[in-house]
Amino acid sequence: MREQDELTAFDKAFELAAQLAEVMGKALAERGLTTARAEVLYVLHNQGPLVQRQLADALRCTPRHVTTLVDTLQTADLVHRTPHPTDRRATLVALTDHGQHLATELDQARRHAAHAILGDTPATQLRAFIAIADRILVHIGASDG
């Protein structure tokens, strides 16, 4: 019985991930974004301007991939590059006014979706879900290494 419960829970997690990815992908596409581009906006919105190396670390990707993402977002007037104030070899990536507006809009949509989906869920169930999701993430992370 326990093994079946584990398998059912695993299958539900997979189904949840797939459906969330689909819904998020559609919502981002309506705004002309991919998941990776939206993640750049999210990081810069929450952490402020970063050098590309810091951005690559935050996104868990290569600096080359970040360069491509930043180039695309810069062309769309969502980010801009500026000289680093203390390191003349470094360049900061920051949100433009348009990028800041879009990042704020995305954050508000995220908050609205969370409330619409989970707003009537008891706090104890939310904490249990978070604990299980953290456990899954730890195990997935452990399998990467």
Q: What is the pLDDT of residues 121-133, one digit of tens each?
A: 999 999 999 999 9
- Residue owning tokens 């670390």: 57
Q: What is the pLDDT of residues 67-113, one digit of tens each?
A: 999 999 999 999 999 998 888 888 899 999 999 999 999 999 999 99
Token couple for 63: 């600096």
Residues 116-141: b if buried by 16+ CB within 10 A, e if exposed: eeeeeeeeeeeeeeeeeeeeeeeeee
What domains can you pick out in the chain, each with its CATH number? 2-144 (1.10.10.10)
pLDDT of residue 11 exceeding 80, the answer is yes
pTM confidence score: 0.83
Using CA atoms, how far apart are residues 127 and 118, in angstroms rounded to an integer?
Answer: 12
Using CA atoms, how far apart are residues 133 and 93, in angstroms rounded to an integer?
Answer: 32
